[in-house]
Structure 1
């Protein structure tokens, strides 16, 4: 018997609907629209478009570095059908811990930074273990973790703002730490370089490793993943460890960029991180998503906030605009999934 014609076999392949295409590439399309809007509505100075100025572009990519780092970890968690509301508070805790150890305790970078990273990672792993072992919804566990991290930040800082001065001797941080607040060539922020390096690593792990495939499998169908031999509990704990790791890195970057640590650092950052992931096309129910989408979503939010600031739009309206975008993105995902569109 002869093989069926190629046209006939290809006709049986599922096809993406136009709406499914929109959802898949919503972050990239949204970023393009925001850039176009930025050019159109940007104020001018001496005939130059402020939005496209080198300093302004640097400010945009610098501003998204911390929430972008948080969003990288959050992508793993949401793809695995979880959520982490504590990352902003853990960022604050790690920022305070960094400032305290460098300034008040006189520790070196080689001892401070590893300890801070381990602290954030263990905090995340502990939340994942509690949620997994006791079958408590991650929403509840990480909400409690948010409060716990804020409390620990207040204790570590004695409820005080810790300024980071650079120099030699007691009360000063090593001058090398100040590099996180600098710009390469006077233009490209070092904090953004940290974000991009982590983004490349995260994208590779998610898309090209067995671990990444396990994360997708657990988010798509946890029962089937367990029956197929995937160590579900270990993977679920590990994705929360990743969010803790990302929050620790973001906390260190925050302290280095702004040269201080405060127990209020990172307030609301978890919402921006979740927003970047959702706008990036990651399914809130798990099993689907992309790191490229998350990166585009983070940059889109940063560019949108910048446009509104350039036009003197109030902070309240900025929050409303961000909230509306999140709802629209989530609604599109739900509608497409409800129609059974192929992703």
Structure 2
């Protein structure tokens, strides 16, 4: 049986499309593997030991990704729902300031401070989602305004000053138990990272194994079809912003506990790192598909890459350029594969 002259090129194109779609699906894991290999190969040595693999350095990497990783978990839900949230870094700063203010200046206990801070984050996020949904304003605009509002509230709450957290009994001191957020389990594994891991497991379960996760994917994939199917679209869209508010509050509390202060400048640029982790993780920027595992791998990849560059004394400017190039490359690969009809969802 003869083969059509055009069939072989067509099959070759299909194979290339399939390979590219596979790369998009696992780009964060593949990227992480490549970064880890590069880390070992390019790492400085000291007394014959690879500094990149030193326990303290590994602990520094996983500690550094904890806060942006927590933010990225919520951001994954928002982007899958075809939204965006630019306020998470500023809201982290507001929550860290609020935590420090209540514990130190107001003398509140942990069991009153932490719930209030978390509720504040949830309400802030839900209000943004409600405004965007109710008035049909682009989430980009609403959350950009939210970023400014959160920064302004941080400046007011802190009087534009650092609030140092001292531990002990009596006025002006925070409960010593709060200090545990800056400690390491077994001297290696940061408590902050444990919180990230627990939240990541919960987020992955919610996205992959619950009706809520299916609803989020459906709303991002085709909002009109989701509404006709009986899915409460407005409620789902508001809820994903409430989720980013929740994770921003948790990250703000963790930040205050790790560094023992609250500052109105905390969290600057964190929203970009969170979005980067989600994009590198393979989540579709237009909504409808995404992977929580990919987001986690993307966050670890960015943390490891920054660490490699720091170990090799690469300037902060070059670190930003390298991160930006990776983000653009990941987004371009997604767009190219989607244009060929081969996107992996």
Q: TM-score, normalised by structure 2?
A: 0.95
Q: How many residues align?
A: 330
The separation in 2 between residues aligned to 1:195 and 1:213, in whole angstroms, is 23
Q: 1:38 aligned to 2:39?
A: yes
1:90-148 C-alpha deviation (Å, 9 max, x unpaired): 00000000000000000000000000000001000000000000000000000000000
Aligned to 2:5: none
| Structure 1 vs Structure 2 CA RMSD | 0.9
1:12-33 C-alpha deviation (Å, 9 max, x unpaired): xx99700000000000000000
Aligned to 2:154: 153
Alignment of 1:12-91 (within 5 A): 17-91=18-92
Quick check: 2:93–2:262 contact (8 Å CA) kept in 1?
A: yes
Q: 1:129 aligned to 2:130?
A: yes
Report the CA distance between 1:342 and its aligned residue.
4.4
Report the CA distance between 1:180 and its aligned residue.
0.3
Aligned to 2:7: none
Aligned to 1:305: 306
Aligned to 2:263: 262
Specify every segment of 5 or more residues in structure 2 that has no aligned partner in the other structure, as ranges: 1-13
The separation in 2 between residues aligned to 1:114 and 1:62, in whole angstroms, is 24
**Aligned structure 1 segments of 4 or more residues deviating by more than 3 angstroms:** none
The separation in 2 between residues aligned to 1:29 and 1:174, in whole angstroms, is 43
The separation in 1 between residues aligned to 2:324 and 2:163, in whole angstroms, is 32
Aligned to 1:206: 207
The separation in 1 between residues aligned to 2:335 and 2:227, in whole angstroms, is 26
The separation in 2 between residues aligned to 1:288 and 1:212, in whole angstroms, is 11
The separation in 1 between residues aligned to 2:59 and 2:148, in whole angstroms, is 33
Aligned to 1:3: none
Report the CA distance between 1:170 and its aligned residue.
0.2
Aligned to 1:324: 325
Alignment of 1:180-191 (within 5 A): 180-191=181-192
Report the CA distance between 1:158 and its aligned residue.
0.6
Aligned to 1:103: 104
Aligned to 2:170: 169
Quick check: 2:24–2:343 contact (8 Å CA) kept in 1?
A: no
Report the CA distance between 1:218 and its aligned residue.
0.4
Specify every segment of 5 or more residues in structure 1 that has no aligned partner in the other structure, as ranges: 1-13
1:280-327 C-alpha deviation (Å, 9 max, x unpaired): 000000001010000000000000000000000010100010100000
Aligned to 1:240: 241
Report the CA distance between 1:256 and its aligned residue.
0.2
Report the CA distance between 1:241 and its aligned residue.
0.2
Aligned to 2:284: 283
The separation in 2 between residues aligned to 1:133 and 1:342, in whole angstroms, is 31
The separation in 2 between residues aligned to 1:324 and 1:117, in whole angstroms, is 35
Q: Secondary structure of the residue that 2:331 maps to in structure 1?
A: helix
1:4-57 C-alpha deviation (Å, 9 max, x unpaired): xxxxxxxxxx99700000000000000000000000000000000000000000
Quick check: 2:217–2:287 contact (8 Å CA) kept in 1?
A: yes
Q: Secondary structure of the residue that 2:203 maps to in structure 1?
A: helix
Aligned to 2:337: 336
Aligned to 1:9: none
Q: Secondary structure of the residue that 1:17 maps to in structure 2?
A: helix
Q: 1:117 aligned to 2:127?
A: no
